[in-house]
Amino acid sequence: MNASVDTADVPLEEARNLLIDLVSIPSPSGEESEAADRLVEFFSAHGREAWIDEVGNVRAPADDAVLLTSHVDTVPGQVPVEVQPADADDLEADVAEEEGEDVLWGRGSVDATGPLAAMAAAAVRTGVSFVGVVGEETNSRGARHLVVDREEPDAVVNGEPSGTDGITLGYRGFLVGTYVASSESGHTSRPEPNAIQHATEWWTSVEEAFEPEDGADEVPVFEQVTAKPVAIDGGISDDGLSVEATLEAQLRVPPSMDVETVRETAEDELEIGTVSWAEPIPPVMESPRTEVARAFRAAIRKESEDPRLLRKTGTSDMNLYAGAWNCPMATYGPGNSDLDHAPDERLSLAEFDRSVAVLERVATTLADADD
């Protein structure tokens, strides 16, 4: 679909107002509707057709030379929303702030309402397609629905913080498992291991199975499988007859491996108990030579910055898009990812402005090449 859609001017002040409005609206996963309404209102005000689909995504289809998409939801947590000048005493070398410039504080300003608002502004300015997806911070229900409900675009730019000079081309995959075990209850003086011990022994074995081999201390984290327990619960059952244990685990999978191999390795360590797996997210590593990556490098240089090619140790919706669509893609957005989910989450508004300009140039370049 390469429908012709009129473009419209979006002054930077209006783009900033959209950003501030969206950050001011609490939108943790599952509670995105008010923020979604604000996005629909923004597109409608500029003559663009937009609606909220059956899972809650904001859809604004147009020229599919490129699809700009980011997530509407944030993680829980309250960071007071305010715009303040950057304080020289608080500046950090890795945060793109200069003394005196306006900085927006608030949950989601970096992850990923900043990228979301920048993409909405760029989509209206250039007439390209836009989707704001829901549930990225939990189960990616919005992206999972999108890849089966719409045609493949010619290119995708996913919105996550990379800094105005960063182009993210790789993410590790994601595998979530739930281990469950039970054992007969008995006096704690007995030597036989109980279910809680079985759970911890299994997890220790899994961690050891994925430890880098001797001499591989210099292997980057991106190229390793990392295993992390995120919750454990156990104790005597309600009827007092057994000990029960549940362990929630996450494994990150590098592009050099497939999720199925990692799952099998974890299961090979299983002697007692069972483990069930959620639907996995595959890893992704895009080429730096695609038209999307080239367009970003040129656009970033126009902003007098040196482009950086990034690989992230986490996971994003781009993994799902790459697994379903055979088109070039990259991830981009304003903000320092070290501030994701942090109590001091904040975004330089000057950086936000530059990201809108970069996205506009990229979308224009890809749309012109598609004509």
For residue 211, the 8-state DSSP code is S
For 132, what's the count of Cα atoms within 13 Å in the CB-facing half-sphere?
A: 33
Q: 160 a known binding residue?
A: yes
C-alpha dihedral (37, 5, 64, 358), degrees to nearest 10: -80
55 vs 17, 30, 133, 137, 318, CA distance in Å?
26, 10, 9, 15, 18
Residues 6 or more apart whose Cβ sits within 8 Å of residue 212: 219, 224
Sheet with strand 102-105: strands edge to edge: 82-85, 102-105, 346-348
Paired with 179 in beta bridges are: 247, 275
Residues with a known catalytic role: 73, 136
Which residue spans within 98-237 are E strands per DSSP? Answer: 102-105, 128-133, 156-159, 163-171, 173-184, 226-236
Residue 273 and residue 178 in contact, taking contact as beta carbons nearer than 8 Å: no
**Residue 137 annotated in ligand binding:** yes
Q: Which helix (H) or strand (E) holds 317?
A: helix 317-324
At residue 316, φ and ψ (nearest 5 deg) are: -140, 180
Q: Is 71 annotated as a binding residue?
A: yes
For residue 151, with 0-12 CB atoms within 10 Å meaning exposed, 13-18 middle and 19 or more buried, which class applies?
exposed
Question: What is d(CA 104, CA 13) in angstroms, rounded to the nearest whole number?
Answer: 14
Beta carbons within 8 Å of 202's beta carbon, 6+ residues apart: 179, 181, 247, 269, 270, 271, 272, 273, 275
Q: Is 198 among the annotated ligand-binding positions?
A: no
Which residues does the annotation place in the binding site for Zn(2+)?
71, 111, 137, 160, 341
